[in-house]
Structure 1
Amino acid sequence: MPCSGKDLCSNAQPRIHWTRSRARAAPGNERELVSSSTSPSVVDVTEDPVAGPHMRKLRAEIALELGEEIQIVSEEWTHSRLYADLVDDHALDSYLSSAVSGYRQDEQRWAKLPQKPSEVAELYGPIFDIVSHIISELGEPCGEGATWVVVNSHTSRFTQPKFKSLCPDMSIKATGPSFQRRMDKDDYLDGVGYGNVASVVDVRLQGRSNDFDQAIQAGFYCRQIYMRQPNRNFVRSLVITEHSVRMLHYDRSGFYFTPLINIHNNPRTFIRLVLGLSSPDESVLGLDTSIQWTINPATGTKTAGIIKSIDADGQPITYNLDMGRPPFYRGDVFGRGTTCWYANHPETGSEVAIKDIWRTRGKTSECDFLTAAQGVDGVVQMISFEDHCAETLAYRPPGFRADGFEPRVKSRTTMPHYGKSIQHFTSRYQVISALRDALAGYRALRAKGILHRDVSSHNILLGSPGAATGRRGVLIDLDMSAWTWDLTRLRAETGLGQRRYQSTAVLHNYQFSLPPRHDHLDDLESFFHVLCNLVLLYEGPGEQSKKLRETLARCETLNDVTAVGSAKINFLCRPWAIRSWWGQACKQLFRRFQIMVDDIGQQKHCFYMDETLTPEAKRDGMEAIAEANEDIYDKVIELFDDALAAIEKEEASAVPATAPADSVVAEKQPAIATNLKRRSIEEHSDAAPPSKRLSPPATTQADSPVAAKQPATVTNLKKRSVKEHPDAPPPKRPSPTSPKDSDAPENPPQNIRSRPPPRPSARSDLAAVPTPTLAPPTEHSKAASGHGDRSNFNGLSTDALPKRTRPTARVNRRKRGQDASPSKAVRRSARLNRV
C-alpha cells in the first residue's frame, strides 16, 4: 500500500531549525536532512508512481514548517480544565452507567474495542460507533441550519483513492454559517471536504507511530482546513488507539499535544475531548464568529456573508462581504496568517479591504505605522484599526512556556480598496508607473522614520483606475516595519521578508556573529527583485515564462539560505534576456537599476571579505554604506521617470499613419493598413493621452499622385505584430541589426556559485553600449571565461557564464535611434565578487 504519514518509520528526522549559529556551524549534508525527513527506510514497491512522490513532498513541506520541537502539555490540565464546562459530571456518570454507552464500569473499559488488534482496520468500526454515540447522546443540539454527522472514511468512497493515506480516518461533517461544500474536486470523500468538516480523527494502533509522524499528518489536515475555512483561529484533531486518545492543537504560534490519555481509565476526559471537537458552537471549534455566511441549503455553498469591525469613529459596523472576490490568504500554518477580506460599506457601498493578521506580542502594532503614514501618497491608508481580536496564549494552559514559543495577537485593519497586486498589470506604462509610485511612497515613509522590511510583488498594489501620479501604485503591509531609530530591533531581527525578494545581504546575515541592521538598501534590492519578477518572468500581461518561473521559484524552495543568496547574486551581476514586449525603455531601466544595486552589493562585500576586520568593524562598515547612500531613492525614481518618458515616446511613435478607405494607399495595401492598426484603449489603458503623442502625417486622397508613387515607403513602415512587440516603434529606415541589439534567447545564466575573483565593472558595458540588450552566455564566452567547476543552479554550469568584458559587437553611434541616450563617461572600477 502507499506510504503514508501514519505508517512512517519511527526514525524520521526532525526539521533543522535554522538559527544563525546553526547555519554557520552545520555541515552541508546536515542542511539537506530535511529533504528526506519523511522518507521511509524501506521503499514500498507497490507505491503509486504519481501519488507516492507527491505525498512525500507534501509531508516534507509540513515537516519544514513544524520544526523539531513538540510541546506536550500537562495531563492535569487536560483532565481538569480542557472542555470542562461542556458537560457536567452528573451527566457523564449517568451516561457511563447506562448499558447503551458501551462502557463497562466493572471492567473499566469500552467493551467494543478489541484488546489486542492485529491491524488497525479492526478499530475503525468500534471507534466510529463509540464516537457517534457520544455525540448523539451528550452533544449539544445544533442550531437552525446546522448539522453534525460523523463519517467513517473506510466505509465511504474516496474521490481520489491514490491519495487516501492523506485523508483522515473519520470526519465530523458540518453544515452551518462557516462551512460550505465546494466543488466535487475538493472532496476527499463523497460530499466531504476540508471546507465542511468541524474536526477530523485518525485511528492508529498503539505504539505503531511516533509523535513526529502524528504531527506531520495532523499538520497537513490543519493546512487544508485553514485554506478552506479562512476564518479559523485554530484547528484541533484527535488520534485514537485501542488504549488511548490524544488531542493535537495548531494555531499561528505553533502546535502542542496533550499526553496520551488512557480512554478506559479516564472515560470522562475522553468524552469531553470528543464533545469539544464536535461542538456546534463555532467559537469552541476555533472559528472567528465575527465572520459569517449565508448558506444555500440546496447546494451547500455560501451565497452572502458579513464581517464585523469598527468604523473610523470606533463604532461597530458590519460590512457585506464581496462574494465575487474570495479572501486572500497565505498557505502557511504558523506565523502572521495574513488574511485579506474584500467587502462593501453597508450604506455607501464603497469598497474596502479588511486585513486580519497575527503579530507577535510586544511587537509594534501596524496601527502605529499606518497612523504615521496618513496622507502619504503611494502608501496604504487606514480607515480603522481593531486590536486584540484574539490571542494564541488563550488557547494554552495557564503559564504555558516553551522554547521558541511567541504569543501572537490578532488585529483587524480596514483600508480603502485598491487594485490587484502589481503582477496583474495590463501595460508597460501601468506597471512601471505603479512601481515608481511605490518607490516614492517608500521614500516618504523613510522620511517619517519608517523602514518597511517586507517589499515584494504581493505588497505592491496597482492604484485605482485613473489614479493621479503618486497613487498609481500603493505599498501595503506595514506589519513587519520598524522605526529607523530603533537600532536594537533592526540589528536583532534578521532574515525578514520573502525569500524571493530578500536582499543578498539579508540572506547572508546568518553568517555574521554581529549582523548589520536591515536598512533601506536591503529594501531597495527587494524593489529590484520585484522588477526582476516582472520583466524577466512575464512575456506580456498574464504570460509567464515557464523556465524563469521555475528558476525564480527555486529561491523559495532551496533549504540553504547561503545557496539562495549566491543564486540571487546572478540577478545583480549577470546579463539576462528580456522579452521584446517590454521594449528598449524597460530594458534600459532594468540594466541601470541592476548596476546601481550591484554596486552597493560590491561595497558591502568588500567588508564581508576583509579578514583583517573585527566583527564590529565589518558591521559598522556595512552600516556606514547605508548612511552614505541616503539619497539613492531619488536617483532610482529618476530612472523610472526617464523610463516612463521613453515609454510614452515609444508608444507615440508606434501610432501609424492611417488613410481614408477610398485612398489609393488603402486600395493597394490592404494588408499593410491592417497591420498598422493601433491597439484599442481597452487593451492598453495606460497609454499616454493623444495630446502628448506625435501627430500622424496627413493622409492623401485617392487621386493623389504622391500616394500612388510611394507604396514602398509604406511597406517599409510595416509594424511588427502585436504579439511580438505591441509597443515597439517602427524603424525609420532599414539598417543592419547589431547582434547586441537583438533579443537574446530565453535561457539566462542560472547558477549557484561563490563570487569569482575581481571583474570589470558592469558600468563599462553601459558606457560602451547605451541601450544594451541583455544576452545569455555563448560557447565562445564559455571557452574564454576560464572558470573551473562550480555548483550549478537549475542545471546550468557557471562555465557557461561570460566574462564581464566590453562587448565585441557595438552599436553604430551614427545610426543610433533618435530616442537613445548619449553615451556617458563612467568611472570604471574593479569590483570584488561577493558570496
Structure 2
Amino acid sequence: MSDHLVSENLGAVPDIRGLPHKRNAPAMSSPSTFDRGPITTQSQDPETVQDTPRGVARYHLHVDALQGALEAELEAAWVPGLTIFLERLTSRDHIPDMPSNTEIDGFLKQYKGYSMKKLKWDKVPSKPKREDSALYNPLTTHINVILRHFERGTRAAVGTYAKEMPHVHYVHQTALKMKPDITLMGYGPYLAQNQAIPDPPRYTHCLAPIEVRYEDAVQWNQDRLQLAVYARECLVQQPNRNFVYGVLLTEKRLLLFQFDRAGALFSPWINFHTNARMFIKIILALSTAYSDKLGFDMRIYWDGSTRYFKSDAPAPKIYSIHDPYKPFRRHTIHGRGTTCWLLYDDDTRKKCVLKFAWRTKDREPEYVFLDMIRQENEKRKKMPGQNPIPGVGTVIDYGDSAEVSKLRFNLPMREEGGRDVPERIYYWTLQPYYGQPLEKAPSVSQSLRAFYDILQGGFELWKLGILHRDISTRNMLFNPDPNAEPGQRGFLIDFDMAKNLNSTASIAGNDLRTGTRLFQSIKVLEGVGNHDYLDDLESSFWAYTWIACTSESPGVPRDRIPRELIDWDSPNLSTAIRSKRRFLLCPTSYCLVSSKMGEHVQHMVALLALFFQEKALPRIARIQTENRAVDVDPFMQAYIAKLAPKIGLHVDATHDATQTLDVEAKEWFDVVIRTVGLIITEEEASRRALSPVPDNLVSAQDEDRSGLVLKPPGPGEQQMLEEKKQQCETTTQDPMNFQKDLASKLPDTGNGGNSKKRVLSPQRSPSVRVTVAHPAKKAKQV
C-alpha cells in the first residue's frame, strides 16, 4: 500500500532520536475459493521488480478463503513456547528500553486505573455478553496510559474494530474480519515514509494486532487463524519485516503469538489482571523503539522521500531503492518469504537486485550456485574463444543474517503434534539487474531469443552439475536491450531450489515435488523418481506455453486465463496432472496460443508438446512400473543391486539424470534448443518478408539456418479444429498408445551423418504441418 496515500498524523509529536541523517543509516542493535478474476498488471513501470504470482490469480477475494489457505500453510507449524517464551521476550537483555520491575510496580501503585487490592484493571467488564466498545475501549485506554507513562512517544493503541484497514488485495466483507479489534500502531524510519500514525489506520504502521474475545466465545483454531490473517497482511505491507507478534485477549486472559517464516510460536495463557506486571512488559516489548526486536530488517530504512539499503559489510555501502512501494514479495507467512528490491548504485550508476529469503538449514544456499557460475565464467574469460555461460545470472555479494531459532530465543522447535519444525536461515544476495520477466517482452522476437538463451543456460548449468528445479515465468527474464549479444538476451534466475548433482548431501531427502505447482513437470506432480534435467526442460515448456496462452499480444496479458490452463495450478494433484496430460495429448492445444503471439509460437508449442508426449509421458509409466516391481521385496532389490555389477547389468530404478552428463541429456537438450532456434529463424524470416528488419535483430547465423515450411489451416478446417478441441476437453488419452506413431514425428537429433527431412504433424490435426529440413552438421547458435 502506497504510504503517500496515507492521511496526515493525529497530532502526535514524532520521536526523532533515532532518525537517520541523509544517506546515513541509524545505529542498529544486534540482530537477533477459487474465484478466478481478471489478471491485472501490478505495475506499468518497466523497471519494477515484479510481485510473486500466487498461482492462477489466487488472491483470496474472501477472507474465509484466506483463512483456509493459512490453515493449510501453517499446518504442523504451531509451536508451544511455554512461559519461558514470555520471560525471554520481556527481559531487559532482549529489550534494551524495558523498565525495571521496580519501575513497573511503581506505576501500578500510582495508576488509578488498576486496583492493587482487587488485582484488577478498572472498567474491564467481568462477564461481557458480547464483543463491543464496552470491552474494547477500557483495554485500549489502559494500553495507551502505559505507553505514555513509559515514554513510547511514537506508539499508540488504536481501536480499529470500527475502522477500515485496507488489504493489498480487495477482500469482500464476510463473517471474518479484515482488521484487528485493537491495533498497536507506530512509526519510524524502518516502518513507513509517513512519520506519523495514520488516520484512517493502515497495516503499514501496524506493530502488533490485538484480537479481543470474551471468554465464552473463544474458539482456539479460528481465533489464531484470524490473527494469522492480520500477521500476513503486516508482512505483505511491511516487506522489510521478518516476523510479527499478535495478541489474543479476553476480559481475563492474554495469549501471545510470534508469526515467522517457520510458522507460529505461542505462549501459554496468562491472567493479565493478577499478572499485571507481565501484561505491561508484553505491551512495552511490542512497542519497543528497537525496531529489529519487532522483526524489521533495519538495513532497509526511509530518509525523507527516499528508501535506502545499507549493507552490513565491514565497509558498508548505501544504495537507494528504486520504486520502494513495489518490491517483489511472497504473500505468505510460512516459507521462504522471498523479498526483492531494485537498487541503484550511485557510484557505478547501475541497477542491481537485492534479494532476501529464508532457506531451510539443510538446503544449499542460492549463493553457492551463483558463486559456482561466477567462478566458471572467470575461468572461461582466460580461455580463448570461450564465452560466459549464456542465459544465467551471477552474483555480486551475499551473506547470511539470522536463524529462526535465534529469533525464538533458542526454544525447542517442536510443534503441537511432536514433530520438529525445520530450521530456517535468513540470507541475502546482491545481483546485477538483468531485466523484466519474460512475459513482459514487447516482441515475439525478443521473447523467443530470450527463451533460447535460457534453454542454453539450463544445458550449461546441467553440465556443471546444477539443476534449477524451479523454472517459472518470473524466474525467466528478458534483456530489454535490442542490441544484446546472443547469450545475454535472456536470463534464468532464482536458485533457491537448486540442487548440486555432484553433492550427495544436496540430493538426500524426500524432496519430490519441488518448484512452482503451475509449471511443475507431470513426473514431479506424480511424485516419482528424482527431479532431473528433463523435468527442468518440461518446466521451461510449461512456463513459456503459459506466457504464450495468457498474453493478448507480446508483453500484454489477457483479461482472463484460458479455462484449459486453470487446473495446471490445482491444489489437487490428480486434477493438475490430468490437465497437463490433456494439454499434451490434445492435437489442438496449440490453438490456445494468442493469435497475436504469432503462428510461429503456435507451431513451437505444438512441436514441443509432441516432444514431451514421446519422451516424458512414456518415461513416467516406465518408472512407475519399475518402482512397483522393485517395491515388492526390498531384500530382493538389495540383492539385485549387489549382484548386477558382476553380471554386467545396469540397474536404474528411476532412469533419472543424477550424473553430470550423459548422451541422452545432450540429445534431448539439443532437440528442444534446436526446435526453438528453427522457430526463431522462421519467425524472423517471415518478418523480413513483410518489412525491413533492423540489422541488430538478424545475425549471420540466422542466414545459415535451414528453414521451416509452414502450412496454416486450409479453408473449412477451423470448424474441425473446434470439434477436435472439444473432444480433448472431455477425453484424456493413454500416452502409451501414441508411442509408435510419435517416434517418427519428432526432430532428428542431428547426430547422424545424413540429412533428413521429416514432416511433423500433431496426430489427426489438420491445423499445422511443419516440415523441418535438418542439416548434416549441428546447427549454429541463433
Question: What TM-score bracket applies, with the shorter chain setting the length?
Answer: 0.7 to 0.9
Once the two structures are overlaid, the 10-residue window that deviates more, 149-158 or 358-367, is 149-158
1:555 CA drift (Å): 2.9
Choose 1 or 2 for highest CA Rg: 1
Q: Residue 620 in 1 paired to residue 620 in 2? A: no
1:386 CA drift (Å): 1.9
Change (3 A) 1:338 1:157: closer
Aligned to 2:82: 74
Structure 1 segment 307-322 matched on structure 2, within 5 A: 307-309=309-311, 315-322=315-322
Structure 1 segment 597-676 matched on structure 2, within 5 A: 597-601=612-616, 602-609=618-625, 613-615=629-631, 620-623=652-655, 629-631=664-666, 632-655=668-691
Q: Residue 281 in 1 paired to residue 290 in 2? A: yes
Change (3 A) 1:54 1:750: farther
CA distance in 2, matches of 1:342, 1:211: 41
1:364 CA drift (Å): 1.4
Change (3 A) 1:549 1:398: same
Query: Which of the numbers 481, 495, 498 marks the counterpart of 1:478?
Result: 495
Aligned to 2:596: 581
**What SS class does the counterpart of residue 321 from structure 1 fall into?**
strand
CA distance in 1, matches of 2:531, 2:371: 22
1:625 CA drift (Å): 7.2
CA distance in 2, matches of 1:431, 1:342: 22
CA distance in 1, matches of 2:116, 2:724: 74
1:318 CA drift (Å): 1.0
Conservation of the 8 A alpha-carbon contact between 1:357 and 1:412: yes
Conservation of the 8 A alpha-carbon contact between 2:164 and 2:179: no
Aligned to 1:671: none
Aligned to 2:410: 398
Q: Residue 382 in 1 paired to residue 395 in 2? A: yes
Change (3 A) 1:560 1:426: same
Aligned to 2:234: 225
Normalising by the residue count of structure 1, what TM-score does the alignment of the two structures yield?
0.71
Aligned to 1:262: 271
Aligned to 1:152: 159
1:366-408 superposed Cα distances (whole Å, 9 cap, x missing partner): 2221111112221111111122x12211121334131241121
Change (3 A) 1:349 1:545: closer
- Percent identical pairs in the alignment equals 24
CA distance in 2, matches of 1:111, 1:735: 82
Conservation of the 8 A alpha-carbon contact between 1:309 and 1:386: no
Conservation of the 8 A alpha-carbon contact between 1:353 and 1:416: yes
Change (3 A) 1:69 1:443: closer
CA distance in 1, matches of 2:454, 2:462: 12
Conservation of the 8 A alpha-carbon contact between 2:468 and 2:497: yes
Aligned to 2:207: 198
**What SS class does the counterpart of residue 292 from structure 1 fall into?**
strand
1:526 CA drift (Å): 0.5
Change (3 A) 1:544 1:367: closer
Conservation of the 8 A alpha-carbon contact between 1:360 and 1:406: yes
- Give the aligned residue type for 1:90: T
**What SS class does the counterpart of residue 320 from structure 2 fall into?**
strand
- For these two proteins, the number of residue pairs brought into alignment is 650
Conservation of the 8 A alpha-carbon contact between 1:222 and 1:235: yes
- Give the aligned residue type for 1:444: E
Conservation of the 8 A alpha-carbon contact between 2:356 and 2:428: yes
Change (3 A) 1:194 1:686: farther
Conservation of the 8 A alpha-carbon contact between 1:501 and 1:529: yes
Aligned to 2:18: none
Change (3 A) 1:744 1:345: farther
Change (3 A) 1:564 1:133: same
Aligned to 2:428: 412
Aligned to 2:546: 533
Aligned to 2:345: 345
- Give the aligned residue type for 1:393: S
Aligned to 1:371: 371
1:54 CA drift (Å): 1.8
Change (3 A) 1:590 1:735: closer
CA distance in 1, matches of 2:735, 2:488: 44
Conservation of the 8 A alpha-carbon contact between 2:600 and 2:679: yes
Change (3 A) 1:735 1:348: closer
- Give the aligned residue type for 2:329: Y
**What SS class does the counterpart of residue 307 from structure 2 fall into?**
strand
1:61-106 superposed Cα distances (whole Å, 9 cap, x missing partner): 2222111553221114423553444121111110111133x11111
- Give the aligned residue type for 1:115: S
Conservation of the 8 A alpha-carbon contact between 2:526 and 2:577: yes
Change (3 A) 1:752 1:119: farther
CA distance in 1, matches of 2:431, 2:664: 33
1:444-465 superposed Cα distances (whole Å, 9 cap, x missing partner): 1111111111111111111241
Conservation of the 8 A alpha-carbon contact between 1:73 and 1:397: no
CA distance in 1, matches of 2:713, 2:336: 57
CA distance in 1, matches of 2:447, 2:423: 39
CA distance in 1, matches of 2:395, 2:306: 25
- Give the aligned residue type for 1:554: D
1:529 CA drift (Å): 0.5
- Give the aligned residue type for 2:664: N
**What SS class does the counterpart of residue 207 from structure 2 fall into?**
strand
Unmatched tracts of structure 2, length 5 or more: 1-32, 35-58, 378-388, 642-650, 747-756, 776-782
Structure 1 segment 179-258 matched on structure 2, within 5 A: 179-180=191-192, 190-258=199-267
Aligned to 1:568: 580
1:652 CA drift (Å): 0.8
CA distance in 2, matches of 1:735, 1:386: 56
CA distance in 2, matches of 1:155, 1:54: 19
1:609-652 superposed Cα distances (whole Å, 9 cap, x missing partner): 46861137799332257856221212211111111111111111
1:293 CA drift (Å): 1.1
**What SS class does the counterpart of residue 231 from structure 2 fall into?**
helix
Q: Residue 126 in 1 paired to residue 126 in 2? A: no
1:488 CA drift (Å): 5.8
CA distance in 2, matches of 1:239, 1:736: 68
1:561 CA drift (Å): 1.9
- Give the aligned residue type for 1:478: F
1:396-422 superposed Cα distances (whole Å, 9 cap, x missing partner): 133413124112111111111111011
1:751 CA drift (Å): 5.6
Conservation of the 8 A alpha-carbon contact between 2:353 and 2:431: yes
1:301-324 superposed Cα distances (whole Å, 9 cap, x missing partner): xx201102268xx74211111137
Aligned to 2:567: 554
1:24-82 superposed Cα distances (whole Å, 9 cap, x missing partner): xxxxxxxxxx99xxxxxxxxxxxxxxx99822222212222111553221114423553
CA distance in 1, matches of 2:560, 2:724: 8
Change (3 A) 1:553 1:255: farther
CA distance in 1, matches of 2:399, 2:428: 5
**What SS class does the counterpart of residue 287 from structure 1 fall into?**
coil
1:252-297 superposed Cα distances (whole Å, 9 cap, x missing partner): 11111111111012111111111111222211221111100124xx
Change (3 A) 1:745 1:256: farther
Query: Which of the numbers 187, 198, 203 marks the counterpart of 1:175?
Result: 187
- Give the aligned residue type for 1:528: F
Conservation of the 8 A alpha-carbon contact between 1:370 and 1:382: yes
CA distance in 2, matches of 1:134, 1:687: 68
Normalising by the residue count of structure 2, what TM-score does the alignment of the two structures yield?
0.76
CA distance in 2, matches of 1:281, 1:746: 65
**What SS class does the counterpart of residue 630 from structure 1 fall into?**
helix
Conservation of the 8 A alpha-carbon contact between 1:233 and 1:286: yes
